[in-house]
Chains A and B, each alone.
Chain A
Amino acid sequence: MNPKQLTIEQVQEILLREKYVCDRSLATVVYLSLVMGKPLLLEGEAGVGKTEVAKVLAKVLGARLIRLQCYEGLDASTALYEWNYPKQMLHIKLEEIERGDKQKVETEIFTQDYLVKRPLLDAIQSEDAIPPVLLIDEIDRADMEFEAFLLEVLSDFQITIPELGTIAAKQRPYVFLTSNRTREIHDALKRRCLYHWIEYPSFEKEYEIITTKFPEVETKMAQQICAFMQKVREMNFYKRPGVAETLDWASALIALNRKQLDDKSVVETMGCVFKYREDLSHLREQVENRQFSIDALLRASPEMVS
């Protein structure tokens, strides 16, 4: 399938085929990123499915996924390229024994054969039939300096190696960046990207996500889970749960053969939703004090047409 010939509806459809439910505005932005060849910067709270977009897209396009997980201290030699020093050294030693030509050795050891490709160079040099999907995950974890390396790659799709010259992309990879906003991304980088903020899903969307991922789930319970999550995200917890938690919880409840929620099963399985002791005890208190009633919640939730 040629990514350039998709339409917005098709983007939505193929993502859904891999069980990724996305709304129209996200589909539009992904579509634009594909047809324009412009990187897409996705921001949003933890666990709303930022990374998943790129992963699923690579899968449905049949493209290779090249993932660069950013971390503090990530530098050019782990992200772009590195010279294979031991191999160069061996070559020099061998030439020494054979009394080789010095000039020749120098030109030989600085060629592509002695270059170790790291994700960014790999993505640019790819010759796959379908351009690869390059996922630069959690860019906010890398240092500011690292963003500077990215600028050349993301605007011109080329990498300059002093000993070799400039390597330009034969075909543009589809680039996705994600950020959790632990710090601001530099304007220069943002300017080169399309931008989209992924919100927590609405009740309807979350319901769709659950039923898409777990077709076997009981309608009633899916609604209850969604209503619960909507409510919990409005409350004062240290870490608000994302869609990832919703899915964990749903699969746990299904594994336990629960048909619907009640106070007891909520408290028992809460470890899927809350990962902090304070949050867990806060919830337990609320349920015990009847301040947080699951029945009332369900009655208040919007009616779904199944």
Chain B
Amino acid sequence: MDITAETVAAAVSKVASARGKGTLPNVMAFGRALKQLGVKVSLSQVLDASRSAEFVDVSERGDFRALLRANLISEKEDFPVFDLLFDCFWREQSYERMPMETMDIQGTPTESQAPEGGDEEGGLEEASAESIANENVPLENLDEFSVPTYSAQELMNRKDFSEMGVEESRAIARAILLIATKIATQISRRKKISRRGQVIDPRASMRRSMKYGGEVIDLAKRKKRIKKTKVVLLCDVSGSMDCYSRFLIQFMYGLQNELWGVETFVFSTSLSRITHLIRTKNIVDALDKISGSILGWSGGTNIGRSLHTFNRNFAPSMVTHRTVVVIISDGWDRGDVSLLEKEMHDIKRRAKKIIWLNPLLASENYEPLCKGMQAALPYLDMFLSIHNVNSLVSLGRTLQKMVA
């Protein structure tokens, strides 16, 4: 969902009828509005938020904001939405009246202020709508022009995923499941008790010997567990990748929902995290959410800058020695190549493996000549094609070998 002043105002007006006197109904309405904006809020959190208002002087706006935020929000990424909603929901005028338990949405004071406030809001909406429209203009233009064409042969290859039927969809889902399990299997430091283990577990042996009156007869052994690897998926959704977009979404959705610990990002000229958007039960919902919220879909490509954002804001905490970073892109980069190279270097240092999946690699006469791709090549652990179902299956096999 695209969060603008407009959608926030809509969410507020939607829950307006639920607002009433006192803290609880208002906090509940606030929680509901948050939910509508896509933030996960549970009833117990709302009740706690309302309860905690007893301990704080709620006329201190800053404290009130802090208490609501601490109770209702549990991810830093949701802070901006929260702040927008907070400012819109607890307007200065209505806010001041709320703690006095005399707040009345339909009351005269609000009505008398309505035209003024309404105007202001209208102006804001217009402004933001305008600015968005402005931003959209170049993108729409790009839509019409910028899908780069290569050779006819390549076009044929690339049609596979764009003309995907139900059966192919299923095949893809199966292939993804296979890939997911391969990527994600690794040996853990954690041990579990096993008959075929190598190491004796003295504690468990002692425990077992109790049934024989303390004589150690049955030795318990331990072996290492299989451990899940984390995956970070960075997916190019710029114009040149347009014809794969349906497949890409399915791939991202599939991987995210097969594995825990997958973080998904899309990039074109900038980077957005969509992990929370595609964590739904239904792929159609996921599609709706994604298409609503990402600017720059089908735009130009700046891989270097996108990776820079990733390294700066996300990589320090998300990428560890057991993270596999998967980049899906054709490598057509319009940005600074030296930046791209530096950022690849940084990822390489943090991550366990970098896998680059390139849809163009399938065509026989393709060579990774474009500058972006060349800069990235030395840092890759794997450079594979991804253009149809078969390539997915073989990708699964390759990964299996790599892990084993």
CB–CB A31/B316 < 8 A: no
Q: Does A191 contact B (CB under 8 A)?
A: yes
Size category of the A interface is: 35 or more
CB–CB B56/A32 < 8 A: yes
Which residues in B have their C-beta under 8 angstroms from that of A29?
66-67, 70
CB–CB A88/B55 < 8 A: no
Residue of B whose beta carbon sits closest to that of A28: B66
Q: Does B174 contact A (CB under 8 A)?
A: no
Knowing A28-B63, A28-B67 are in contact, say whether A193-B74 is a contact too (CB < 8 A).
yes
SS class, residues of chain B in contact with chain A: helix
Q: Does B317 contact A (CB under 8 A)?
A: yes
Which residues in B have their C-beta under 8 angstroms from that of A88?
210
Complex CA–CA separation, A184 to B74 (angstroms): 11
CB–CB B52/A32 < 8 A: yes
Which residues in B have their C-beta under 8 angstroms from that of A41?
74
SS class, residues of chain A in contact with chain B: mixed
The 7 closest A-B pairs by CB, nearest first: A190-B74, A181-B317, A28-B66, A25-B66, A194-B70, A73-B190, A85-B206
Q: Does A258 contact B (CB under 8 A)?
A: no
Q: Which of A31, A46, A73, A187 contacts B40 (CB 8 A)?
A: A187
Q: Does A195 contact B (CB under 8 A)?
A: yes
Q: Does A17 contact B (CB under 8 A)?
A: no
Residue of B whose beta carbon sits closest to that of A35: B55
Q: Does A93 contact B (CB under 8 A)?
A: yes
Say how far B137's CB is from chain A's closest CB, in angstroms: 31
Say how far A93's CB is from chain B's closest CB, in angstroms: 6
Knowing A93-B214, A181-B318, A191-B42 are in contact, say whether A143-B190 is a contact too (CB < 8 A).
yes
8 contacts between A and B (CB under 8 A): A24-B66, A28-B56, A32-B52, A72-B188, A72-B190, A86-B206, A144-B260, A191-B74
Q: Which of B191, B207, B214 has the largest number of chain A CB atoms within 10 A? A: B214
Which residues in B have their C-beta under 8 angstroms from that of A197?
76, 79
Residue of A whose beta carbon sits closest to that of B64: A28
Q: Which residues of A in the span 72-99 have a Cβ within 8 Å of any Cβ on B?
A: 72-73, 75, 77, 82-83, 85-86, 88-89, 92-93, 96
Which residues in B have their C-beta under 8 angstroms from that of A190?
74-75
Knowing A28-B66, A31-B55, A36-B48 are in contact, say whether A92-B74 is a contact too (CB < 8 A).
no
Q: Does A180 contact B (CB under 8 A)?
A: yes
Q: Does B115 contact A (CB under 8 A)?
A: no
Q: Does A64 contact B (CB under 8 A)?
A: no
Q: Does B246 contact A (CB under 8 A)?
A: no
Q: Which residues of A in the span 186-239 have a Cβ within 8 Å of any Cβ on B?
A: 187, 190-191, 193-197, 236, 238-239
Residue of A whose beta carbon sits closest to that of B349: A238
Q: Which of A31, A43, A238 contacts B346 (CB 8 A)?
A: A238
Which residues in A have their C-beta under 8 angstroms from that of B55?
31-32, 35-36
Interface string of B38-72 (1 = CB under 8 A from A): 00101011001001100110000011011101110
CB–CB A25/B207 < 8 A: no
Q: Does A38 contact B (CB under 8 A)?
A: yes
CB–CB A195/B70 < 8 A: yes
Q: Does A2 contact B (CB under 8 A)?
A: no
Q: Which residues of B in the span 55-113 have a Cβ within 8 Å of any Cβ on A?
A: 55-56, 62-63, 65-67, 69-71, 73-76, 79
Interface string of A7-48 (1 = CB under 8 A from B): 010000000000000001100110110011010110101100
Knowing A180-B317, A181-B317 are in contact, say whether A187-B74 is a contact too (CB < 8 A).
yes
Which residues in A have their C-beta under 8 angstroms from that of B74?
41, 187, 190-191, 193, 195
Complex CA–CA separation, A143 to B312 (angstroms): 25
Complex CA–CA separation, A197 to B74 (angstroms): 9
Residue of A whose beta carbon sits closest to that of B205: A85
Complex CA–CA separation, A8 to B230 (angstroms): 40
Residue of A whose beta carbon sits closest to that of B346: A238
Complex CA–CA separation, A19 to B363 (angstroms): 64
Say how far B3's CB is from chain A's closest CB, in angstroms: 18
CB–CB A92/B214 < 8 A: yes
Which residues in A have their C-beta under 8 angstroms from that of B69?
25, 195
Which residues in A have their C-beta under 8 angstroms from that of B210?
85, 88-89, 92
Knowing A38-B48, A182-B317 are in contact, say whether A24-B214 is a contact too (CB < 8 A).
no
Extra contacts besides A45-B316, A190-B75, A236-B312 (9): CB < 8 Å: A24-B66, A28-B63, A46-B316, A92-B213, A182-B318, A187-B40, A194-B71, A195-B74, A239-B316
Which residues in B have their C-beta under 8 angstroms from that of A82?
203
Q: Does B308 contact A (CB under 8 A)?
A: yes
Say how far A69's CB is from chain B's closest CB, in angstroms: 15
Complex CA–CA separation, A45 to B313 (angstroms): 10
Complex CA–CA separation, A196 to B52 (angstroms): 15
Complex CA–CA separation, A180 to B76 (angstroms): 12
Residue of A whose beta carbon sits closest to that of B312: A236
Which residues in B have their C-beta under 8 angstroms from that of A195?
69-71, 73-75
Q: Does A275 contact B (CB under 8 A)?
A: no
Q: Does A183 contact B (CB under 8 A)?
A: yes
Complex CA–CA separation, A28 to B60 (angstroms): 11
Knowing A8-B63, A196-B70 are in contact, say whether A191-B45 is a contact too (CB < 8 A).
yes
Say how far B228's CB is from chain A's closest CB, in angstroms: 9
Q: Does B320 contact A (CB under 8 A)?
A: yes
